[in-house]
């Protein structure tokens, strides 16, 4: 009986290994970009450098890629006194794979209040479907209660119909509250 169980188990393990070996090539194949395919290029960018906590932050971007393979926008937030947050990914809509002009909206309010003068750095890049990444654009930002995050937009963002590309969903933590053990 024991030999039968052992033989059955060995047969099962063998079938699993054979099945994985037979399909692993297709599971691990990653398509390569066509020869000469350049990475995405951020052609213009803008964001205010200060504003009140709780006011939305709008990060304006214009990007393009010859061949139209842009897939997503990566947003990395680093906060002085806290550190870096996990990357936030915004998937581009179908019509934005070759060229886009628009903005990301970040509604900064959360359950924790940010102290006056909290400084963050917002790093943005664009990736194509093969993982090729554009250069990074870095926006310093500071929360100041008397400041307004509205400002005059530069071209090409000064048009009335600039679309929202998506939302940034990073939830900031109050570093002072975190150090005291508060939640």
Report whether pLDDT(35) > 50: yes
**The pTM of the whole model exceeds 0.85:** no
Give tens-digit pLDDT for 141-173: 999 987 765 678 999 999 989 999 999 999 998
CA distances (Å), origin 144, targets 33, 108, 119, 162: 45, 13, 9, 26
Give tens-digit pLDDT for 77-119: 999 988 999 999 999 999 999 999 999 999 988 767 788 889 9
> Would you say 45 and 124 are in contact if contact means Cβ atoms under 8 Å apart?
yes
């Amino acid at each position: 009986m024991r030999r039968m169980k052992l033989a059955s188990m060995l047969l099962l393990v063998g079938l699993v290994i054979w099945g994985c070996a037979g399909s692993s090539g297709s599971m691990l194949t990653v398509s390569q970009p066509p020869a000469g395919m350049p990475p995405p290029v951020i052609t213009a960018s803008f964001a205010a450098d200060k504003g009140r906590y709780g006011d939305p932050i709008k990060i304006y971007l214009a990007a393009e890629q010859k061949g139209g393979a842009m897939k997503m926008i990566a947003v990395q937030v680093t906060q002085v006194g806290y550190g870096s947050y996990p990357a936030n990914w915004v998937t581009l809509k179908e019509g934005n794979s070759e060229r886009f002009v628009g903005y990301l909206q970040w509604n900064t309010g959360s359950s924790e209040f940010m102290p006056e003068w909290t400084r963050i750095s917002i790093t943005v890049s664009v990736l194509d479907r093969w993982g090729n990444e554009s250069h990074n654009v870095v926006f310093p930002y500071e929360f100041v209660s008397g400041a307004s995050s509205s400002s005059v937009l530069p071209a090409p963002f000064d048009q009335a119909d600039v679309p929202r590309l998506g939302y940034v969903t990073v939830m900031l933590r109050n570093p002072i509250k975190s150090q005291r053990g508060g939640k």
